[in-house]
Structure 1
Amino acid sequence: MKKTLLALLLGSALVLGACGGKEKVKEEGTAGTETVKIDAEKIAQANCISCHGETLEGRGNFPNISKIGATLSKDEILDVVKNGKGNMPKINISSDEAEAVAKWLSEKK
């Protein structure tokens, strides 16, 4: 009995531990549909600040992208994120995350 209970608790802990990561929220205007909320700023901070600086102001040979939306469209930014450009390599994130980051950066004007 104790072994069964311990196995059940351990299994539950593993299953619950594997869950999480992205926050699920109900999308407004749709009945019962769930979407994953992606924090584009957090993804950009994790992937961009090492080269572009903490406020995306540019650093060394890396350009200032704090107002990149004034010169590039969302689709152009998305292309750079997905495929890289010049010395910038492509960013290894999911398509949904890339879309969110491109949208977020395109609003920086």
Structure 2
Amino acid sequence: MNKKLLAAIFGSALMLAACGGGGDEEATETNEEKGGEVTETQDAEKIVQGNCTSCHGGNLEGQGNFPSLKDVGSRLSKDEILQVIQNGQGQMPANIIEGAEAEVVAEWLANKK
């Protein structure tokens, strides 16, 4: 009896694991299929919060050896910002943000003047 119960619980857990999760990835894939890029300002802010604030500060004010990004658009163009994101610079690693997200972030940062 215990083996049957254990098998039922294990089977249920496997089914739930196979069906659950991945909601965010599905939304991204659907977004990419529809237009190939993320376009909302809110998305750019979320991407920056998740990838940049640990080094550049919560308000992008810069900290330590990492420069402020509050007015980066007055110093660099969108293309220059995209190059830094893709190639890295100083202590920043290359491709910390990739693809359409990098384009959206570069545009959003270029508007910070």
TM-score, scaled to structure 2: 0.68
Structure with greater helix share of residues: 2
Q: In the alignment, what sits opposite 1:59?
A: 63
CA 1:18–1:73: 2 relative to 1, 3 Å: same
Alignment of 1:39-78 (within 5 A): 39-78=43-82
The ranges of structure 1 where at least 4 consecutive aligned residues each deviate by more than 2 angstroms after the TM superposition are 13-19, 33-38, 91-94
Indicate yes or no: 2:109 matched with 1:105: yes
> How far is 1:70 from its partner?
0.9
Of residues 99-108 and 85-94 in structure 1, the stretch that sits farther from structure 2 once superposed is: 85-94
Structure with higher Rg: it is 2
Counterpart Cα distance in 1 of 2:92 and 2:60? 14
Indicate if the aligned counterparts of 2:86 and 2:98 stay in contact, CA closer than 8 A. no
Alignment of 1:15-94 (within 5 A): 16-21=19-24, 23=27, 34-35=34-35, 37=38, 39-94=43-98
Indicate if the aligned counterparts of 1:47 and 1:91 stay in contact, CA closer than 8 A. no
> How far is 1:94 from its partner?
2.6
RMSD over aligned Cα atoms:
3.0
Which protein has greater RCO, CA pairs closer than 8 Å, 6+ apart? 2
Structure with greater strand share of residues: 1
Counterpart Cα distance in 2 of 1:97 and 1:88? 17
Counterpart Cα distance in 1 of 2:102 and 2:45? 11
Deviations 1:15-57 (A, max 9, x none): 5534421546x99xxxxx8346461111111111111111101
Q: In the alignment, what sits opposite 2:3?
A: none
TM-score, scaled to structure 1: 0.70
Percentage of pairs with the same residue:
48
Q: Which runs of 5+ in 1 are unaligned?
A: 1-6, 28-32
